[in-house]
Chain A
Amino acid sequence: MATSSDLREKLRNKRRALQESLGKVKDDTQALVPYDSDATKESDHTAVEELTSRGDDPGEALRRSLKAQRMKKKKKLVEEMSMEIPPEEEVVKAEVTTVQELQFEQEELSEDTSAEGARSARLQRDLPPLPVLRANSSLSESSMRQRVTEKLIVAKSIASRKMKQEASQEPPSRLQSLRDRELLTRFDREADPDLHEAEPSFAARVKFQDAARRAIRDKRGETGLPTAEEAYNFFTFNFDPEPQERRSKGQTKTRSRRREGEDQEDELDQEEEEEEEETEMEREQEGEEESRDRDEDAPLVRDEEEDLFIIDQSAQDFLEVKKSEYIGYNRRVLREREILFTPSMRAVPASSKLPENVQPRYPEEEGLYVGERPPVTLSNQNILENRILKQDQGKKWFGDDGRIMALPDPIKESSSRPPLYHLEEELDPALQTVYRKALKSKYVNRYIAGVGDTQGDYQLDVDVSGLIFSHHPLFSREHVLGARLAQLYDQYLSRQHKNLTCLLTDKLNGLRNTIRNMLELHSGEGISHVTQHRIAEYKQEVRHTRQLRDSEQEKDRTLLKSIIKVWKELKALREFQGFTNTPYKLYIRKEEVQRALDEREQEAEILAEVAELKAESEEDYERKMSEYRRQLEEWKSWRRKQKALKKKQKKRRQQSQDVNEEEDEGEQSEEELGEEPVKPEAPEKPDIAGLEQQVREKACRIRRKPGEPVLVPELTASSPVTPNEQCPRGEFARREDAAKCSLFIKVLYNDKEVSRTDSRSLNADFRVHFGQIFNLKIVNWPESIKLQIYESVSSFSSLLAEVCVPIPESSVLTGSAPSEELEFSSNQRVTFNHEGVGSDVPFSFAADGSNRQTLLTSGKLSCCVSWAVGDDDVPLAPPSSQSGADMHSGLRQMDAIACIGASGLNDMKRLGKWAAESRLDPNDPNNASIMQLLSVASGGEVAIPDYFRLEQLQEEFNFLSDEELQRSRRFRLLRLRSQEVAEFRHFKTIPATEREISEKVFEDYERRLKEGELVDTKEHIDAHRALVAKYLQKVRESVINRFLIAKHHYILSDLVVEEEVPSIGVLGLNLFKLAEPKRPLKPRRKERKKVTAQNLSDGDIKLLLNIIRGYDIPIRKPHTSKPAAAAKSARSYTETFTATASSQTALQGNDWPLGQPVIRPFVEVTFQRTVLQTSTAEGPNPCWNEELVLPFSAPNGDYSTSNLQAVRDEVFINIFDEVLHEVVEDERERGSTVHTRIERHWLGSIKIPFSTIYLQSRIDGTFKVATPPVLLGYSKEQSLGSEGGYDAIRSLSEGTFLTLFITIEPQLVPGDTIREKFDTQEVERLLLACEIFEKDASQRFPDRPCLTTVVDINGKSVFITRFIRPLAPPKELLDAFPNNLQEATELVARYVSLIPFLPDSVSFAGICDLWSTCDQFLTLLAGDEEEHAVLLCNYFLSMGKKAWLIIGTAIPEGATAYVLTQEQNRYLIWNPSTGQYYGQYDTFCPLQTIGCLVNADNVWFNIQVYAAPMRMSFDVTKPKFWKPFFSRSFPDPGLSSVQPEELVYRRIDKAAAAELQDRIEKVLREKIMEWRPRHPTRWNRYCTATLRQFLPKLELSGGREMAEEHRLELQSLLGDYRISGFPLHLPFSEIRPIIEAVYSTGVHNVETPNVEFALAVYVYPYPSNVLSVWVYIASLVRTR
């Protein structure tokens, strides 16, 4: 406000000054006033007043006179204006009027539009008038000129006077101009806009007030209507309050919209008010109250007096204190209503939204699809509609249906993504989040890391220094020559700099000296081969160097010549054309040489060369000569041969003259002579004299003549160029063009223009100097930097050429980087009609136009690109490691090795080879870097291997060589342990130091390894067995290793104990259990918790054996010498079961001595050398009911499943008879003391492999005891009368039985069978069917085993029927009983059972049951139930029987395979591993469950209610009972058998058998003696001999109790002895089981002092090395 008041003050001063001046000013100036006053507000006011007054006295004439007067005045004024720039205030005003008059339309425009327009008008007013306007005015009003000039001169003087006055005061003009400036600059600033906007207008208004006052003086108020002039003025001077007000209002509005209730607004209001005040002040003076919208026609001034009165008023008169204006609310509302619009929330009637007379139409109703509109609340919608309607053209927003147009709702009802059920486990694999490593985008990569950080400032400096054209279309001919001359001179200089000739000459001399020295050194002695070779090499080198030097010299000379030639041409051209264009001038400096010296040197040189050439040519001649001689020799020898041949022929011919000699001759000569070699030509002797001639000629061609001065050209640019005026027109035009032409260069970074140089004009010498450095701050990786050269002629510019600048290495920094010259060229075709030669246009120098040349625009751009250096000397280059491939382009140029074709630095060898081949001169500075590299490479330090290593630094980290590491015992131990090698698997505490490990540690292991190759025949007796054993061992090992690997695959149950989810059934059972009695009368065994074998240790596992009772144990026989009548009966299947028992009953019934203990049996269990026994019971059917607990320890303390399965220990359950002998030491003591000796007699045994117990987890049942066929001193008890049905059944079978329950405490989880799927060759369909079949079977009858595919020995799945194929048994067996099929059948079964039994589960621990084919089985001679069964089945089939393989479970084997045969009308079940057979209804048949039957065609699964053989039907044709695998729906695809066509048996080797027999006997004897360390072992030779006789008979009888008579015989023979013994029958596999068996009988335990032993061994051989071993062992005690 202060400013405004100041301003006001100033204005008042000014006004006063004006008024003063006005008094002096003549009427001319005063006449101007009305115009001005028109423009002001006041003028408006007055105009209105005038109008009103005019209403009183309007008159046409008056108006017209006024108009004329005005016109006159105006013209006068215009004259003034045109003549002179008006000095300051008044003149300005006048000027403004003229300007505005002339620019009527323009001003009108500005008037009615915006405030800006107004301002511009104001500006215009202040600005000096435009000359154009002046001119125009002068043109229009030229007639008035004369008159006005005078007046103007006067005005001028006045103005100048006034100027002086004003200058002494305060010039308002300055103020104004200041204001204007402010306006300009502050236009768009918002800081204090109202002030600025208000001020000028205010000032202007004040000014116009003055003007108005003056205008009042000028009387023209008489006129009633406004003239055109007036109207025009009104429009022109738009300083009326209306627009101002409007503007300020608008501003207020906008501002208030922006910030509401601000002080500034108030300020503005105040200001406005002040303005109003002022206006009002004046209005008061005028004595009139006016509305704002005044009529334009109103008279401006009422009368003259008023105006004068104003001038006299003081400052106070203008001021009036008034209370601030308050606008009432209602008024304000009313006022606001005009401005503001509040859309109503009421619905808009449809009619207003649609064009008239249009009914809304609904697309839905017409069946068109209309999407659902997004939900908008009705009120909002109404507001929007109302708002839109308010706008013009608002209706276009409404659709046909009268609603606002809207797109359908984009939001879908349901989520478009598939639902994500985040269950804990299976997420749809397709939805699984896959983690991928973040990939660096190609583009991201381009960015330099760390950009944006403070450090990451990278800057490239591109220095474009200049440009030189080597050819340009504007070249004149002289320029062409000049350029060529310059080029040649450059070449000359560079050659001079390199000085190759001199270098080569020196080298040549050096080489010559070396050769000379060497020759001198070795002149005395003979030159060694190496030296000779070296000399030869040097000579070669000399030759090569000389040639090089010659060519260089020639080049030098040619260059010099051509320089001179071009210079001459240039001179000629200058002369020809008569002017000079180029400043080139060539001076040739002659350097005098001493002629004599020179001549001498040259002569010496020539001589040396000649000598060398001579030597060379001689050498060459020698070589050629020797070659010639050799060839000649050859030729001669050939000749000689030829001659000899001919002679021979002749001789022969003479000898056989009679026989067609003619024919022979021709033929032979042609035949034998062959091609005649060409006779070699002797080489010519070299022309020594000619040589010198040649050398001299060459010397004079390429060298300067001796004594000739050395010419040194010097090119200068000192020649004066002919000035333009003296040139012909063509040349002048060319020069003009050249001057017009200018060039600039664009810098493109990564193909983007980043900057360009200034445009520089082309100099006369066609050089352009730019010298500009562009600093590029880069963010992206530099990929390319291009410089584009543009040529611009006048305003048109065209691309001339493009130059790619290599991206600098990060070490290239500004300051140190050299400027590079990059060549460019352009193939644009340019022709001129003046002297310019153009580009790509042929031209000629010669006048006749011959020798035409075509040149292309080309030149050199010198520039430099480098990385900038920061303020602190830090290079602003990105780290080079990151640049990688991007920098490669730059690097490639630097890599010298890449140039020679070797790829990178790693191929040192090739580089070395290349260097050797190309004979790099080590002294050549060009080769320095390569030589250095080579010296490093060949130094041995960096021997690059010719192989690739993934970890090439591995060797650096090896602290030991591999061999040393291998040798280290400790390391070896550690390694073996981690490999889980059996011996070291559980090795504890490997010593810390090497020395503590003895070599012995490895002894066992190494021995075992060695044994792998060696076959120990000693232990295995039979070589074949040994091999088989070895093979088995290997298979076992590999399988175990496989298993050990598999062991490391865990399943959840191995690690986590988790309760099973109780099923409904279990829950029901549990509920049922609640009702059960607490202590049931017949308790059942409960399932125990299973324990995985992982965390067990020694002593944890116990074997529980519950021996319940025995049946049919043989009883003792009283010593009688009565021979019992052997009840021999014709044996047949039908009779065996009944006859034996009856015969025995008959036999022994009468012998039974009453009162004597029949037998006192007890059971002894041996397991892992632990022996436990039950108490002694009495009678043949004892009841022990005792539990024996045997500790179990796994081998090596490893209780893993695999190891447990591999345990090969067996539980021996032996039944002994405890015999008490009274030992009568002394007859006298008989009465008082009783000495008894306890003897135990072995009756029989059962052996159960541990693996069976382990896999079955419990064994429960009645087992047949293996009893020896003959038990001396014992006989079977006959059933004493029929006690019940059970006995009756029992009596049917033979043998002794024992009821047992065996289990392991704690219960171990048997290892899982196969987890992996085996590969197979069966078709997929079959496998699928198998899977379904087995699954179905196991679902319906989980306890019945079902087999369809089995694993063969190669580990492949094979369909089971492929194993069944009729195979003939050995012929010998069939021949044994040619008539009796039954006997033969039995024999075959016996043969099969004699093949040793080896459970798969032992050898192939837990993995699976391997099935081998019959031939494999016979070769291995070992197998378990299924191999036996398959072989037996195949034999039976070949013998014409109906046979099936039974897959079932038996006791004690568990899952097993038996054979079923159909005899006449009954079925027999054969146990293949014992050779025994059972009837279908045999109670003691060990087979408990039958799962399926298999034959060659099909597999039948048992779907009957019962699985026990007794209670089922074997009729496989009945689908009710048996479910076939191949049915009508899935027929047998005709599977071929895996079995061989026939089996090949090895012949019986009786000798080997006999040998084996002896060996076994010997071993056993030794063993028995060994077992009796404290007693002497006597052998009864007689008994042995007798026993030996029995054994073959036993073998013949098949081991049945048929040797009764022999036994009796034996007893009779050895009547004096109490004899107890028995024959043992074993299949032979190894000797160890035999020893075990003998040991387990405990015969050796007899400790009677006078005991004698008898041992007989018999080995009966069957085909294919199947051996039946009989061991007869007996102890004899002399009874008297």
Chain B
Amino acid sequence: MTSNNPSVFLVMVNGQIESANFPEYDDLYCKYCFVYGHDWAPTSGLEEGISQITSKGRDSSQRLVWNFPLDITFKSTNPFGWPQIVVSVYGPDAFGNDVVRGYGAVHIPLTPGRHTRTIPMFVPESTSRLQKFTSWLMGRRPEYTDPKVVAQGEGREVTRVRSQGFVTLQFNIVTKDMKKLGYDTTSTEQVSPPQ
């Protein structure tokens, strides 16, 4: 695959959803999916995944550790619509109903290398107090019709959210042929001759 005139560039993402910090909740699991533009296509790897349920550790940090691996390769012709990872976290509420604990999204880092991202998470709010009460009572909190909504800007103005916690992700990015196609994502300062 060493063509001089590549028609696509590849972005390989591997990493993990390391941990989360939800001070109030426990026993959470998360789902992830990727949102990307028209010009993007996954070539290999899992586009979606759901993690195990994890409980808080006994240590003081109170983190929820998933260490849920991500491994996906995208090909694309156009950096527009650069993939984003959407993470949604779920967990049981006081009555044992599975409710959403947070949505969050972040762009996959553009530059090759190792990156750590912490995503602030949020959940949609109920439209009224009564709704809030009933949704709490019935264990049916408001949710996004599609978690991918959080990766797009359109239509967000109608929603109202509350922030919930943080999820830490770690990415290792490898790109191929980007420079050949004229997309230089590494800044000049960072480029240093390998020693």
Given A992-B7, A1056-B145, A1057-B142, answer yes or no on A1050-B134 (Cβ-Cβ < 8 Å). no
A1058 touches B159 (CB 8 A): no
| Residue-wise interface mask of A (990-1003) relative to B, using a CB-CB cutoff of 8 A (1 in contact, 0 not) | 11110010000000
A1095 touches B146 (CB 8 A): yes
Given A987-B38, A1048-B155, A1050-B154, answer yes or no on A1055-B149 (Cβ-Cβ < 8 Å). yes
| Residue-wise interface mask of A (967-1009) relative to B, using a CB-CB cutoff of 8 A (1 in contact, 0 not) | 0000000100100000000111111110010000000000000
Q: Which residue of A lies closest to B78 (CB)?
A: A990
Given A993-B7, A1061-B131, A1061-B134, answer yes or no on A988-B156 (Cβ-Cβ < 8 Å). no
Looking at A1049, A1052, A1054, A1058, the one whose CB has the most chain B CB atoms below 10 A away is: A1058
Check: B135 CB closer than 8 A to any chain A CB: yes
A1056 touches B7 (CB 8 A): no
How many Å lie between the Cα of A1048 and that of B155 in the bound state? 7
Instruction: Return chain B residues, CB-CB under 8 Å to A993.
Output: 5, 7, 181
What class of interface size applies to chain A in its complex with B? 20 to 34
How many Å lie between the Cα of A1046 and that of B129 in the bound state? 30
Check: B124 CB closer than 8 A to any chain A CB: yes
B135 touches A1057 (CB 8 A): no
A1058 touches B135 (CB 8 A): yes
B134 touches A1062 (CB 8 A): yes
Instruction: Return chain A residues, CB-CB under 8 Å to B6.
Output: 992
Considering the complex of A and B, which 3 residue pairs feature the smallest CB-CB distances, nearest first?
A1050-B155, A992-B77, A1058-B142
Residues 41-96 of B at the A interface (beta carbon under 8 Å): 41, 76-78, 80
Check: A1094 CB closer than 8 A to any chain B CB: yes
How many Å lie between the Cα of A1059 and that of B143 in the bound state? 9
Check: B39 CB closer than 8 A to any chain A CB: yes
Instruction: Return chain A residues, CB-CB under 8 Å to B38.
Output: 977, 986-990
A1051 touches B41 (CB 8 A): no
Instruction: Return chain A residues, CB-CB under 8 Å to B126.
Output: 1058
Q: Which residue of A lies closest to B5 (CB)?
A: A993
Check: B2 CB closer than 8 A to any chain A CB: no
A1052 touches B127 (CB 8 A): yes
How many Å lie between the Cα of A258 and that of B134 in the bound state? 70
How many Å lie between the Cα of A1049 and that of B5 in the bound state? 42
A1059 touches B124 (CB 8 A): no
| Residue-wise interface mask of B (126-155) relative to A, using a CB-CB cutoff of 8 A (1 in contact, 0 not) | 111111001100101011111011000011
Instruction: Return chain B residues, CB-CB under 8 Å to A989.
Output: 8, 38-41, 76-77
Q: List 13 A-B contacts (CB under 8 A).
A: A989-B38, A990-B77, A992-B7, A992-B76, A1051-B158, A1052-B158, A1055-B149, A1056-B143, A1058-B124, A1058-B135, A1058-B142, A1059-B131, A1061-B134
What class of interface size applies to chain B in its complex with A? 35 or more
Instruction: Return chain B residues, CB-CB under 8 Å to A1059.
Output: 131, 134-135, 138, 140, 142
- CB proximity of B133 to chain A, nearest CB, Å: 9
A1055 touches B181 (CB 8 A): no
Check: B171 CB closer than 8 A to any chain A CB: no
- CB proximity of A1033 to chain B, nearest CB, Å: 27
- Chain A residues within CB distance 8 Å of chain B: 424, 974, 977, 986-993, 996, 1048-1052, 1054-1059, 1061-1062, 1092, 1094-1095
Instruction: Return chain A residues, CB-CB under 8 Å to B9.
Output: 992
- CB proximity of A1198 to chain B, nearest CB, Å: 12
How many Å lie between the Cα of A1054 and that of B158 in the bound state? 9
Main DSSP-derived SS at the A contact region: loop
How many Å lie between the Cα of A1062 and that of B131 in the bound state? 9
Given A1050-B154, A1054-B155, answer yes or no on A991-B7 (Cβ-Cβ < 8 Å). yes
How many Å lie between the Cα of A989 and that of B78 in the bound state? 8
How many Å lie between the Cα of A1575 and that of B157 in the bound state? 62
A1056 touches B146 (CB 8 A): no
| Residue-wise interface mask of B (1-27) relative to A, using a CB-CB cutoff of 8 A (1 in contact, 0 not) | 000011111000000000000000000
- CB proximity of B136 to chain A, nearest CB, Å: 11
Instruction: Return chain A residues, CB-CB under 8 Å to B142.
Output: 1056-1059
How many Å lie between the Cα of A1062 and that of B146 in the bound state? 24
Picked from A974, A992, A1052, the residue with its CB within 8 Å of the CB of B159 is A1052
A1094 touches B145 (CB 8 A): yes
How many Å lie between the Cα of A991 and that of B40 in the bound state? 10
Instruction: Return chain B residues, CB-CB under 8 Å to A1055.
Output: 124, 144-145, 149, 155-156, 158-159
Given A1054-B145, A1057-B143, A1059-B138, answer yes or no on A991-B155 (Cβ-Cβ < 8 Å). no
How many Å lie between the Cα of A1055 and that of B143 in the bound state? 8
How many Å lie between the Cα of A987 and that of B127 in the bound state? 37
How many Å lie between the Cα of A1052 and that of B131 in the bound state? 14
How many Å lie between the Cα of A424 and that of B155 in the bound state? 20
Q: Which residue of A lies closest to B149 (CB)?
A: A1055
| Residue-wise interface mask of B (147-184) relative to A, using a CB-CB cutoff of 8 A (1 in contact, 0 not) | 01100001111110000000000000000000001000
Instruction: Return chain B residues, CB-CB under 8 Å to A987.
Output: 38
B131 touches A1058 (CB 8 A): yes
Q: Which residue of A lies closest to B129 (CB)?
A: A424
Instruction: Return chain A residues, CB-CB under 8 Å to B7.
Output: 991-993, 996
Q: Which residue of A lies closest to B80 (CB)?
A: A974
Instruction: Return chain A residues, CB-CB under 8 Å to B134.
Output: 1059, 1061-1062
Looking at A974, A989, A996, A1051, the one whose CB has the most chain B CB atoms below 10 A away is: A989
Given A1050-B158, A1051-B158, answer yes or no on A1061-B130 (Cβ-Cβ < 8 Å). yes
A1094 touches B146 (CB 8 A): yes
Instruction: Return chain A residues, CB-CB under 8 Å to B154.
Output: 1048, 1050
Instruction: Return chain A residues, CB-CB under 8 Å to B78.
Output: 974, 990, 992
How many Å lie between the Cα of A1051 and that of B157 in the bound state? 9
Instruction: Return chain B residues, CB-CB under 8 Å to A424.
Output: 129
Instruction: Return chain B residues, CB-CB under 8 Å to A1095.
Output: 145-146, 148
- CB proximity of A399 to chain B, nearest CB, Å: 55
Q: Which residue of B lies closest to A991 (CB)?
A: B77
How many Å lie between the Cα of A992 and that of B5 in the bound state? 10
Instruction: Return chain B residues, CB-CB under 8 Å to A977.
Output: 38
How many Å lie between the Cα of A1054 and that of B124 in the bound state? 13
A992 touches B145 (CB 8 A): no
B135 touches A988 (CB 8 A): no
- CB proximity of B73 to chain A, nearest CB, Å: 15
Given A987-B38, A989-B76, answer yes or no on A1057-B138 (Cβ-Cβ < 8 Å). no
How many Å lie between the Cα of A996 and that of B6 in the bound state? 11
- CB proximity of A979 to chain B, nearest CB, Å: 13
B144 touches A992 (CB 8 A): no
- CB proximity of A968 to chain B, nearest CB, Å: 13
How many Å lie between the Cα of A1050 and that of B6 in the bound state? 40
- CB proximity of A1058 to chain B, nearest CB, Å: 4
- CB proximity of B36 to chain A, nearest CB, Å: 11
Q: Which residue of B lies closest to A993 (CB)?
A: B7
Instruction: Return chain B residues, CB-CB under 8 Å to A1049.
Output: 155
Q: Which residue of A lies closest to B133 (CB)?
A: A1061
How many Å lie between the Cα of A1092 and that of B134 in the bound state? 23
A988 touches B41 (CB 8 A): yes
Q: Which residue of A lies closest to B139 (CB)?
A: A1059
Picked from B40, B127, B181, the residue with its CB within 8 Å of the CB of A1058 is B127
How many Å lie between the Cα of A106 and that of B79 in the bound state? 102
Looking at B5, B140, B145, the one whose CB has the most chain A CB atoms below 10 A away is: B145
Picked from A974, A1057, A1061, the residue with its CB within 8 Å of the CB of B144 is A1057
How many Å lie between the Cα of A173 and that of B80 in the bound state? 102
How many Å lie between the Cα of A1095 and that of B146 in the bound state? 7
Instruction: Return chain B residues, CB-CB under 8 Å to A1054.
Output: 145, 155, 158
Instruction: Return chain A residues, CB-CB under 8 Å to B40.
Output: 989
Picked from B144, B148, B181, the residue with its CB within 8 Å of the CB of A1056 is B144
How many Å lie between the Cα of A238 and that of B77 in the bound state? 110
How many Å lie between the Cα of A1049 and that of B146 in the bound state? 17
How many Å lie between the Cα of A996 and that of B3 in the bound state? 15
Instruction: Return chain A residues, CB-CB under 8 Å to B39.
Output: 988-990
Instruction: Return chain A residues, CB-CB under 8 Å to B124.
Output: 1055-1056, 1058
- CB proximity of B145 to chain A, nearest CB, Å: 5
Looking at B146, B155, B181, the one whose CB has the most chain A CB atoms below 10 A away is: B155
How many Å lie between the Cα of A1204 and that of B143 in the bound state? 25
Instruction: Return chain A residues, CB-CB under 8 Å to B127.
Output: 1052, 1058
